[in-house]
Each structure stands twice: as structure tokens, then as C-alpha cells.
């Protein structure tokens, strides 16, 4: 079946937007979304939609991104179903009041954390994983009892179209709405009042989102980007290291927020690593990479030109082949680029891998710490001391030891950035908590009334309270 490509919405229907948000808000106010069965029905809707429309979604991602079917399954379809299933299994426990300990001076009493829905959430998504980055935040928001307005990316219009045309049929239409379109639609949505904004995208637009949210003091989760480094230790197994880095860099043609952006390695291993990365890519895709069905394409002409421009004046040790017509760019190794060139001053978000020579691990750590805190950091080493040094002296949203990308997958690992790479966490319980107000309540019986804290503040009361509080 051919995926439909809707025309981008150029006209922003603000009235319709306002009415839709009001409709969703009154659903929340009616109390319907608090019901755990209602929440489960929405999670089931997400799972059924993804299952029923797997073929259309895979085809749409192929149209948008030249995405190989297996990559679409791993990163978008299978992962979204797994996460929604995991949340469905656990969310009743997360939604139940959580017991908290109380100081003896407050007894007799009980303390509970009572998670409650925030209200109407706005979810703005990017194009690179156009199914996963829509459905996983949605599963968290519904599990926490919220209504949702979704704005998928206009840069992946075929996938946005399949979602916009079909997902609403699986959900409560008074608690879910989709607005397609680009920045003009986002801007109009951001002008409205929300109870939470969950944004995945670039750091630059993240700043715009946070500024808009500040006007209404709306809480935000910002899942942003940046340059995620790889540090290769002198004792790393270079065959395995190269395979894993090569896979993480060429998956979805490098258009992954946590893709290895660049590699820091000492001179001892640099040339061997370059050879082994080249061998790994050749073993994945053959010598004519553009003919491989297993290698994706750059999403748009603008991004293709941006990436090809990054190669200007660089020393290319592997790849560098490109074709504007098909938006093909082969996996490419650039050696020791100038640190002020765009390939090192901007997030690459494509299949170019700079290799930077450093003197030793401490120099690699300094290199990372001299730059904004990354979304992910990867270290390859056998020596525990090297691994510990890197992990304890650097800060990143997350990462892996001896692999790349994998930390996105486990539902029990909170996923998010730090500093310029974002704020807030999701996946599993972290996502549920992100979309909840964790209300703290102390409950006291009428019996056992103590006058200790009431005036007059006598010496005796002061002594006692200083001891127990």
C-alpha cells in the first residue's frame, strides 16, 4: 500500500486549535482520564494502531528516510510496542499512592505521594524516528492520565500522515488531537496554555520552546541533541569497537540523536581503528554502498547540502561519496578536522565520523569537558580504571560502555539529556513521573492532638521539638 503524503498545513487554524484544546481540557476536568481503565484503553489503542499499521508506517519511513525495514522495525515499530506494553503492565502500580516515611514528631499520621495527571500535554516531535518519538512519550502521557495534542514533524510528512489519519481512530477523540505542519503550527500551539510540553528536537528550537513555556510557567521536558563523543581506550578490542561504532554511526544514516558524533583516540590505535571502521562498513554494505538496500538516505536536500558542506577542506580517510539527487551520503571518516570547522562545531546528525587524535585518556576527558554536556557518551576499554575515570569525570545524559545507542532501549533506564542536551527524563516509570504531578499528602487522624507546635512557644516545647524535628 502506498503511504499518503499530505500537503503541509500552511494556514494555521487558530480557532480550531483553541476549540480543540478547550474540548480536551473539559475531558480532563470531567475526571474521565483519571480512570485507570481509560488509560489502559489508550495504551491498547497505541499498541493496536502500531500493529495494524506496521506495513504502512514502515513504507512511510522508507518514503521519508529511505529507512531499511529492519531499522524501522527495531527503532520505531518494535520499540514503541514494547514500551507501550511495558507501561501497560506497570502503570497501575505507578499510579497508586506511594507510601513515604514520616518523622516521629508528626505521628500519628501517614504520608503518601499521590500521582495525578497534569492535564493537557503538548508533544512536539522530530523527524528522525518519526514513530517512536511520537508514540513513546504518548504512552507515558496517557498512562499518567493526560489528554494530548501531538505535533509530528513536517520533515517526515509520509509518516506524519499515516499517524494523523489513523491513530485518532484508536484513541478517545475528546482526549487526543493531531496538528500537522511546521514551525508556524508549533508557534501557534506554543502560544496556547499547556499543563506540560514534551519537546524532542534541536537545542536551538528547545530554547524557543522553553521561552514560550516560561510565559505560563509550563513545565517542560526537553529531549535535545548535541555532539555525543566516543572515547576509545588503548586496550580496546578494535575489531569489536569498530563494528559497534560503525553500526551506530550508519544506522538511519547517522540521523540519531545519540549517534556517535566523533571519536577520540590516541595515535597508537588511530590508523588501525580507521582501517577497521572502513572494513566494518564494507562488510555491512559492500563496496558500492549506494546500491545497498540496508543503508538509509539523508532526510532532505537542505540536510544533505549541510552535510556535504561539512566535508569541505577535510581529510577524508573513507567514503565521502554523495549524490544530491538521491540524498545519498556514504559513511565517511574525517581525520583530525580543525576544531572550529562546522563538522566539530555543530551536531553532525549524519554519517560523517571525525576521528580526533588525543594524547591520552585524560586529554580525551578534558576535550569532552571543554564542550557542552552531551546527550550520550561512549567509552570502549577493557581496563576498569579507564572506564571508571571516564564515567566519573564526565557528565552526559547517558551512554554505554563498549557499545553505542543501546541505553535508549531498556524501559527501566531513564532517558534524557543534561545541560544543553536537555532536561527531564522518560521511558518506563520516568516517563510516567514526567507527566504526573507527584502530590505529597500528609494525613492525620483527629485523635492524638498534640499542642507541641502551637504557640505559646515555651522552653519545654522548644527543647522537645529541637530534639525530634
Write down the residue that cell numbers 507501561 correspond to: 87
Helix locations, 151-199, DSSP H: 157-166, 183-190
Q: Confirm or reject binding of residue 71 to ligand NAD (CB under 6 A).
A: no
Q: Confirm or reject binding of residue 158 to ligand NAD (CB under 6 A).
A: no
The cell for 257 is: 540523536
Q: Confirm or reject binding of residue 377 to ligand NAD (CB under 6 A).
A: no
The single residue among 49, 328, 349, 435 that binds ligand NAD, judged by CB under 6 A, is 349
The cell for 258 is: 545519540
Q: Confirm or reject binding of residue 6 to ligand NAD (CB under 6 A).
A: no
Contact set for ligand NAD, span 415-444 (CB under 6 A): 417, 422
Residue 400 falls in the annotated catalytic set: no
Nearest to 120 by CA among 174, 42, 84, 45: 174
Q: Confirm or reject binding of residue 160 to ligand NAD (CB under 6 A).
A: no
**Between 384 and 403, how does the x/- string for binding to ligand NAD read (CB under 6 A)?**
--------------------
Q: Confirm or reject binding of residue 131 to ligand NAD (CB under 6 A).
A: no
Q: Confirm or reject binding of residue 208 to ligand NAD (CB under 6 A).
A: yes
Beta carbon of residue 133, minimum distance to ligand NAD (angstroms, whole number): 6
Interior/surface letters 175-187, b for 16+ CB within 10 angstroms, e for the rest: bbbbbbbeeebbe
State the number of binding residues for ligand NAD (CB under 6 A).
28
Beta carbon of residue 366, minimum distance to ligand NAD (angstroms, whole number): 24
Residue 279 falls in the annotated catalytic set: no
The single residue among 118, 138, 246, 257 that binds ligand NAD, judged by CB under 6 A, is 257
**Between 210 and 249, how does the x/- string for binding to ligand NAD read (CB under 6 A)?**
-------------xxx------------------------
Q: Confirm or reject binding of residue 35 to ligand NAD (CB under 6 A).
A: no
The single residue among 153, 159, 218, 243 that binds ligand NAD, judged by CB under 6 A, is 153
Measured between alpha carbons, how far is 263 from 344 in angstroms, rounded to an integer? 11
The single residue among 123, 205, 364, 377 that binds ligand NAD, judged by CB under 6 A, is 205
| 415: three-class secondary structure by DSSP | strand
Q: Confirm or reject binding of residue 119 to ligand NAD (CB under 6 A).
A: no
Across the beta sheet with 120-124, what order do the strands follow? 176-178, 147-151, 120-124, 196-200, 220-223, 422-423
Measured from each CB, the residue nearest to ligand NAD is 225
Measured between alpha carbons, how far is 445 from 382 in angstroms, rounded to an integer? 58
Beta carbon of residue 53, minimum distance to ligand NAD (angstroms, whole number): 20
| 356: three-class secondary structure by DSSP | strand
Nearest to 149 by CA among 185, 202, 183, 115: 185
Whole-Å CA distances, 26 to 147, 148, 179, 300? 10, 13, 19, 40
**Which of 282/395 has CB closer to ligand NAD?**
395
Q: Confirm or reject binding of residue 348 to ligand NAD (CB under 6 A).
A: no
Measured between alpha carbons, how far is 245 from 231 in angstroms, rounded to an integer? 11
Beta carbon of residue 5, minimum distance to ligand NAD (angstroms, whole number): 16
First to last CA, the chain: 68
What is the secondary structure of 131-145 as a DSSP string?
THHHHHHHHHHHHTT
- Site residues (vs ligand NAD, CB under 6 A): 124-128, 133, 151, 153-155, 182-183, 186-187, 200-202, 205, 208, 223-225, 257, 347, 349, 375, 417, 422
Which residues are marked as active site?
A: 223, 257
Amino acid at each position: 500500500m502506498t503511504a499518503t503524503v499530505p500537503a503541509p498545513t500552511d494556514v494555521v487554524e487558530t480557532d480550531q486549535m483553541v476549540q480543540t484544546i478547550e474540548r480536551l481540557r473539559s475531558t480532563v476536568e470531567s475526571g474521565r482520564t483519571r480512570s485507570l481503565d481509560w488509560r489502559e484503553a489508550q495504551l491498547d489503542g497505541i499498541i493496536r494502531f502500531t500493529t495494524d499499521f506496521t506495513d504502512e508506517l514502515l513504507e512511510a519511513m522508507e518514503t521519508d528516510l529511505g529507512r531499511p525495514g529492519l531499522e524501522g522495525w527495531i527503532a520505531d515499530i518494535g520499540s514503541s510496542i514494547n514500551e507501550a506494553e511495558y507501561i501497560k503492565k506497570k502503570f497501575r502500580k505507578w499510579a497508586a499512592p506511594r507510601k513515604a516515611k514520616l518523622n516521629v514528631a508528626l505521628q500519628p499520621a501517614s504520608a503518601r505521594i499521590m500521582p495525578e495527571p497534569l492535564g493537557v500535554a503538548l508533544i512536539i516531535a522530530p523527524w528522525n524516528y518519526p514513530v517512536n518519538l511520537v508514540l513513546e512519550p504518548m504512552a507515558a502521557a496517557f498512562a499518567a492520565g493526560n489528554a494530548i495534542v501531538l505535533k509530528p514533524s513536517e520533515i517526515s510528512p509520509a509518516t506524519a500522515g499515516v499517524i494523523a489519519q489513523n491513530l485518532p481512530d484508536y484513541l478517545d477523540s475528546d482526549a487526543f488531537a493531531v496538528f500537522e505542519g511546521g514551525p508556524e503550527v508549533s508557534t501557534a500551539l506554543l502560544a496556547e496554555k499547556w499543563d506540560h510540553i514534551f519537546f524532542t528536537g534541536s537545542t536551538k528550537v528547545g530554547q524557543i520552546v522553553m521561552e514560550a513555556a516560561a510565559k505560563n510557567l509550563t513545565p517542560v521536558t526537553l529531549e535535545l541533541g548535541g555532539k555525543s563523543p566516543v572515547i576509545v581506550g588503548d586496550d580496546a578490542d578494535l575489531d569489536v569497537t569498530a563494528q559497534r561504532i560503525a553500526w551506530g554511526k550508519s544506522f538511519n544514516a547517522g540521523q540519531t540523536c545519540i549517534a556517535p558524533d566523533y571519536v577520540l583516540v590516541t595515535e597508537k590505535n588511530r590508523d588501525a581503528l580507521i582501517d577497521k571502521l572502513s572494513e566494518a562498513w564494507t562488510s555491512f554494505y559492500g563496496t558500492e554502498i549506494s546500491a545497498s538496500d540496508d543503508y538509509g538516505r539523508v532526510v532532505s536536500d537542505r540536510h544533505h547540502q549541510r552535510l556535504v558542506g561539512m566535508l569541505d577542506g577535510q581529510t577524508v580517510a573513507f567514503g565521502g561519496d554523495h549524490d544530491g539527487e538521491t540524498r545519498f551520503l556514504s559513511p565517511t571518516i574525517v581525520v583530525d578536522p580543525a576544531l572550529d570547522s562546522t563538522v566539530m562545531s555543530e551536531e553532525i546528525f549524519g554519517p560523517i565520523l571525525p576521528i580526533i587524535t588525543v594524547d591520552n585518556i585524560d586529554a580525551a576527558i578534558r576535550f569532552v569537558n571543554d564542550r557542552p554536556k552531551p546527550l550520550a557518551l561512549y567509552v570502549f576499554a577493557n581496563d576498569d580504571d579507564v572506564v571508571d575515570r571516564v564515567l566519573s569525570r564526565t557528565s552526559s545524559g547517558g551512554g554505554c560502555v563498549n557499545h553505542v545507542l543501546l541505553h535508549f532501549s531498556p524501559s527501566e533506564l531513564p532517558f534524557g539529556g543534561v545541560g544543553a542536551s536537555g532536561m527531564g527524563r522518560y521511558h518506563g516509570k520516568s516517563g510516567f513521573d514526567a507527566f504526573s504531578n507527584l502530590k505529597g499528602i500528609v494525613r492525620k487522624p483527629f485523635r492524638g492532638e498534640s499542642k507541641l507546635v502551637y504557640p505559646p512557644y515555651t522552653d519545654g516545647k522548644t527543647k522537645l521539638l529541637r530534639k525530634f524535628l
